[in-house]
Structure 1
Amino acid sequence: MRYRRQETLRYSFETPPPARFKLIKGGEKHVHSSTGKGQVIDISPGGMKLFTTVHIPSEKKVQLFVHTAIAQVDLSFTADVVWENQVNDGYHYGLDFIGDHQDKVIHALKEYRKTSQESST
């Protein structure tokens, strides 16, 4: 499994925004799971780190549909799970977005920065 730490734009949140996700593909089979809850630890135009207490079986290729909002900008992605780390109270998953979401992510992060600066003044 690979890490994308070399990406030039990766934003780590001090207070991670909530996210919801569904398992949509496991191996070669399409599935429809119930909705899980998580938090966006960090995000880049190509992917994100998701925290959840739900264990996602990652032995086979797994795809998730993820929805979150950053600075009131709704973001929805289909993503491959590319790595998994167990942490004290749950799991971190590295997600690689399927498709080009660069403009949406950059727009959301600009709005987040604006609202963060306004609330600190």
Structure 2
Amino acid sequence: MGQAVAGTCYIKVDGMQLVITGGVEVPLSKVKRESIRPGYFKEEDVIPFTKVDAVKTPGLDIAKLTTATNMVVTTEFKDGSVYVLSGAYAVDDITVNGDDGKVTLKFEGINGDWQ
């Protein structure tokens, strides 16, 4: 019997559900390791983030997405797992594509937890 591991995802920013086109990305780990030599490595913190391609729908609160600095971004994956990014704010360029109405968003935050 098969099990769904990918497909429809749901993204909410402070309770506002986004219409997304896919392309959701969140980190699985809180640290990044790099080998220095065999048996030795260095470890750096990963900044918690959520990347998503959304649709610029009527009523999309662009002002909130571009100016708020303490949002909660919740990502629910098809397999039922949930990633919650807290203390979130938008980073990088926030752009909209006129051909398909796609808004590219990247949020970083204080804490990212899998639930």
TM-score, normalization: structure 2? 0.50
Q: Which amino acid aligns with 2:51?
A: K
Greater RCO (Cα-Cα under 8 Å, separation 6 or more): 2
Change over 3 Å in CA distance of 1:68–1:19 after alignment to 2: same
Segments of 5+ residues of structure 1 without an aligned counterpart are 1-13, 23-33, 109-121
Change over 3 Å in CA distance of 1:69–1:76 after alignment to 2: same
Aligned CA RMSD, in angstroms, stands at 2.8
Which of structures 1 and 2 has the bigger CA Rg? 2
2:43 match: none
Residue aligned with 2:82, SS: strand
**Aligned ranges 1:17-96 → 2 under 5 Å:** 17-22=9-14, 35-39=16-20, 41-45=24-28, 46-52=48-54, 53=56, 54=60, 56-57=62-63, 58=66, 60=67, 62-70=69-77, 71-78=79-86, 79-83=88-92, 84-87=94-97, 88-96=100-108
1:8 match: none
Deviation of 1:61 (Å): 5.0
TM-score, normalization: structure 1? 0.48
1: CA distance, partners of 2:84 / 2:9: 13
Deviation of 1:91 (Å): 0.9
Higher helix share: 1
Per-residue Cα deviation, 1:20-51 (whole angstroms, up to 9, x for no partner): 222xxxxxxxxxxx623243622225211123
Are the aligned partners of 1:63 and 1:80 in contact in 2 as well (CA < 8 Å)?
Answer: yes
Segments of 5+ residues of structure 2 without an aligned counterpart are 1-5, 29-47
Alignment length (residue pairs): 78
Deviation of 1:15 (Å): 4.0
Query: Identity of aligned pairs, percent?
Result: 9
